[in-house]
A = this chain, B = another copy of it.
């Protein structure tokens, strides 16, 4: 492999051979090719594009840069879900035990919050004692016993992605669909899955702001999955206003417990059941997503999902007592509130703005090293379409650092658009892509 020749080829609009591209990724991961050559290559690819074959090679090289889990010994299908990230998105906490209790294994590897959106690991770790740093062996054992394990990325999985992502972040080469797809899929495909469901968020609070962008990303992700032999389905779902009524780690655990016990906000329940329906169908347990969604709703209502969640918490060292009455915590006493400046109907809620405010209140990280306040966050009393009277409470603000929390009240208020005419939120699920084409749902 001649690195300069590969850069020149990509610079001149050519297609790099699978051998050269694979070796470039692997040599870079080993430290045998310097950052400055790879960043020139990334920029050339960003501007001149990547063919489907190149994207496929990139994914393959990245996933093979580290350990690829072998879950063959565990009976039954192994299906995971990945979300491109939203505000108030606590779906994974509910979905993983729910799908597991219906007979499909969920080996879920999640990330931490960074930027304006929260992370599943931070939410789980707000449960006292809960450990997410499972070894691969421990994960396999638990998957065999319980059908579900929720853990963090290990250093062994797709190290090329970590190194490439850090480089893209400082060289303005992040927002390129083939790179985004390769980053997501290399990690997921290294889990040794039989199928994958993607929740591609679209809207002001999502990474992809427009339906066209979200559709392009969904198609790229599904195509990569199919090409690599992993059946993959994507739902495109709304991320304009936050999902559910809570933002913040413990607040989202509490809301998840509500949904796991058959209650909770309708949007969270609906999206969870839709994603569960896809996972159960990919896992061969139901013959259609609709049938799977109906079974999921039953399992939420009859206590099976809740039961499995409690077992999961116990298996990973968490305090099951703490999740019995999660709302009864003195730390959740609101330290501030935001009232409606005028009466009318909530026209829109800027999820991105609320996500950023929550992070500043302590619910997330501005930098990787920052620690997180489990109790910081927002409770939304009003959502899009709700009527509201002047002076009525829109949002409660929580967190242990009262000054820091109160500072965000203005930002939180500015996220609400209240107008005189009735409004509605629009559909939650905006489309479905399984490689064959798009279904509007």
Q: Does A71 contact B (CB under 8 A)?
A: no
Chain A: interface secondary structure?
helix
Contacts of A3 in B (CB 8 A): 170
> From A35, which residue of chain B is reached at the shortest CB distance?
B36
A441–B8 Cα distance when bound, in Å, is 37
- Find out whether the CB atom of A11 lies under 8 angstroms from the CB atom of B47: yes
A223: min CB distance to chain B, Å: 25
Known: A35-B36, A36-B38, A36-B167. A43 touches B11 (CB 8 A): yes
**Number of A positions contacting B (CB below 8 A):** 24
Contacts of A172 in B (CB 8 A): 4-5, 7-8, 11, 40, 44
Q: Which of A29-70 contact B (CB under 8 A)?
A: 34-40, 42-44, 46-48
- Find out whether the CB atom of A170 lies under 8 angstroms from the CB atom of B37: yes
Contacts of A36 in B (CB 8 A): 34-36, 38-39, 167, 170-171
- Find out whether the CB atom of A171 lies under 8 angstroms from the CB atom of B48: no
A5–B39 Cα distance when bound, in Å, is 15
Chain A 1-35 interface mask (CB, 8 Å, partner B; 1/0): 00111011001000000000000000000000011
Chain A 251-268 interface mask (CB, 8 Å, partner B; 1/0): 000000000000000000
- Find out whether the CB atom of A37 lies under 8 angstroms from the CB atom of B39: yes
Contacts of A5 in B (CB 8 A): 172
Q: Does A173 contact B (CB under 8 A)?
A: yes
A172–B3 Cα distance when bound, in Å, is 9
A4–B42 Cα distance when bound, in Å, is 14
Contacts of A46 in B (CB 8 A): 11
Q: Which of B4, B34, B38, B47 contacts A44 (CB 8 A)?
A: B47
Q: Which of B4, B11, B42 contacts A40 (CB 8 A)?
A: B42
Q: Which of A136-192 contact B (CB under 8 A)?
A: 167, 170-173
Contacts of A167 in B (CB 8 A): 36
Known: A35-B35, A47-B47. A40 touches B171 (CB 8 A): yes
A11: min CB distance to chain B, Å: 5
> From A7, which residue of chain B is reached at the shortest CB distance?
B172
Known: A40-B42, A43-B43. A171 touches B4 (CB 8 A): yes
A403: min CB distance to chain B, Å: 29
> From A48, which residue of chain B is reached at the shortest CB distance?
B47
Chain A 306-349 interface mask (CB, 8 Å, partner B; 1/0): 00000000000000000000000000000000000000000000
Q: Which of B8, B40, B47, B48 contacts A39 (CB 8 A)?
A: B40
A46–B12 Cα distance when bound, in Å, is 10
Q: Which of B37, B47, B170, B173 contacts A171 (CB 8 A)?
A: B37
A7–B40 Cα distance when bound, in Å, is 11
Contacts of A4 in B (CB 8 A): 170-172
A47–B38 Cα distance when bound, in Å, is 16
Contacts of A8 in B (CB 8 A): 172
A350: min CB distance to chain B, Å: 24
Further contacts, 11 of them, CB under 8 A, given A39-B39, A47-B47 = A3-B170, A5-B172, A8-B172, A11-B43, A35-B36, A36-B36, A36-B171, A37-B39, A37-B170, A43-B47, A44-B172
Subset of 16 A-B contacts with CB under 8 Å:
A4-B171, A7-B171, A11-B43, A11-B47, A11-B172, A34-B35, A35-B36, A36-B38, A36-B39, A36-B170, A37-B170, A37-B171, A40-B42, A44-B47, A44-B172, A47-B47
